[in-house]
Amino acid sequence: MDPACGFRGSQFTKQVKQSPVIGASPYGRWWSVSRWAAGLVSILCLHLGFVGGVLARPGTTELPASPRVGTKPAAGVQGRLETISITLERPDDTIVVGQLNFPPPEWRFPEQTASNVIAYLRRAGATPAEVAVLSATNHLAVDGRDVVIAPPAELILGLKPDVRRIIYTALGTQVENPYHRQPFFVTASSPSEWLEHSGLSPATEKLLRSLMYQRGNLVHFADPQVITGLEDGEKFRVMKTLSRIPTLVAKLHVDQSSDPAAIAAYWGPRGRGRQLKPLIESLTRLNGGAVMDVSELLPAFARTRLYTYPNVGRSAGEVPEDCFWTAMNFFSETPDARFHSFDQSLATLRADYSPVERPYRFGDVVTFLNSRGKPIHACVHLVEDLVFTKNGATPNQPWILMKLDDVSSTYLATELSQERLGMVVFRRKGS
């Protein structure tokens, strides 16, 4: 999964160059709010809150977990919300086995000395035998101010899960390690959940499972090089499995005790309630009630995109459809191309929206800030803790439904942060 929202401009892509091996850690430290929304965040400072309180305790890599399935009353909409967990896989035509070229594994530690790196590997829990192999001259080299390790395949396969998690998390803080910085990952309780019904051979499943590591409620995989020796059909199935993205099917139960007017008013702001009410009324009259798919209650923009992937055949110069473009166009009959500009999205939020606190309403725009005050994601609140989201600008990311805590976990993972994510929720003025 590649969750980056595709922000453009150096102010949004500057990376922390301080390696986590020595010196000041990037964890356990609150960075000052940057100027991403000059005037916006300063005005909103009293409204800045955190999702569910503390999302991740400083000094730990644990992330919050959230329920996978559930049925509970949908507050304020006179219905009962049910969610069912499913996974999507990338369309077949987006995976071209002949183009799967992965370079040999490499661990790069910027601006470090060999002795510091070796000491770090010991602290991370590598065995003396593993440290001896990794520090051998045929595997460790100094490249300018960086230390580079080329770990042998058998050592990678033999790492204990906790050691892998610690080392790979540290490597992922550096842009020089792309596979560790942006690994494949899914929200899952175990590797077995990710690999379920994959169609892979038992041997391949065992291989992948041995290389996966858990961070909170996310399972990661950062060693795609291992599939190089597989036959093409198995490579294809591996990539389909690694591309899996968990999402939810959401249904609203209504019956004769439901209030059609209240349901229509909640799900149909901006004049849409009039269109929804006849269907809702008819369903509430049925003996025993009925079940409505939440997708039928969404505006056309979201309804037609839900569970689909962007057009992979877009022209070379076409601007990606990212999270802010998605959130700002939620109610649009025709997508507004201005929201391809991140600055325009911020300007519109500043001019036409106001920050709000709970209870949130259908269509509110949820924005996340990282520990440095930079905006990293936007999604749309639907009901309870359910949101409509697109977690990245690439065509590999579909439009999906998620629980808010799972979105938070996803973006905490992309930041590799032990800090809190800031959250500001906006509502269009006059709505």
Residue 24 CB neighbour total at 10 angstroms: 9
Instruction: Say if residue 32's pLDDT is above 60.
Output: no
Give exposure, 310-349, as e/b (b: 16+ Cβ within 10 Å).
Answer: beeeeeeeeebbbbbbbbbbbbeeeeeeebbebebbbebb
Collapsed DSSP state (helix, strand, coil) of residue 259:
coil
Confidence class of residue 319 from pLDDT cuts 50, 70 and 90? confident
**What is the average pLDDT across 352-379?**
92
In degrees rounded to 5, what are phi and psi of residue 121?
Answer: -60, -40
**What is the average pLDDT across 377-388?**
96
Note the pLDDT of residue 421.
81
Distance CA 104, CA 417 (A): 27
Domain boundaries, the chain: 10-94+246-428, 97-242
> Which tens digits make up the pLDDT trace of 166-211?
999 999 999 999 999 989 999 888 999 999 999 999 999 999 999 9
Collapsed DSSP state (helix, strand, coil) of residue 386:
strand
Q: Name the nearest CA neighbour of 9 among 386, 351, 345.
A: 345
Confidence class of residue 29 from pLDDT cuts 50, 70 and 90? very low
pTM: 0.80
Q: Which of 42-46, 69-73, 373-377 has the lowest mean pLDDT?
A: 42-46
Distance CA 194, CA 102 (A): 22
Confidence class of residue 417 from pLDDT cuts 50, 70 and 90? low
Distance CA 290, CA 82 (A): 12
Distance CA 310, CA 129 (A): 47
- Helices in 361-424 by DSSP H: which ranges? 404-415
Task: Give the rounded distance of the alpha carbon of 380 from its chain centre.
Answer: 14
Pull the structure tokens for residue 204.
């391949």
Distance CA 369, CA 388 (A): 18
Q: Which of 74-83, 92-101, 286-295, 383-392 has the lowest mean pLDDT?
A: 74-83
Q: Name the nearest CA neighbour of 358 among 75, 65, 67, 63.
A: 75
Q: Name the nearest CA neighbour of 3 among 391, 416, 396.
A: 391
**What is the average pLDDT across 362-377?**
89
* Residue 370 · residue 173 · CB < 8 Å: no
> Which tens digits make up the pLDDT trace of 109-127?
999 999 999 999 999 999 9
Distance CA 96, CA 104 (A): 20
What residue has token string 């002949």? Answer: 98
Q: Name the nearest CA neighbour of 401 among 414, 390, 413, 412.
A: 390
In degrees rounded to 5, what are phi and psi of residue 387?
Answer: -130, 155
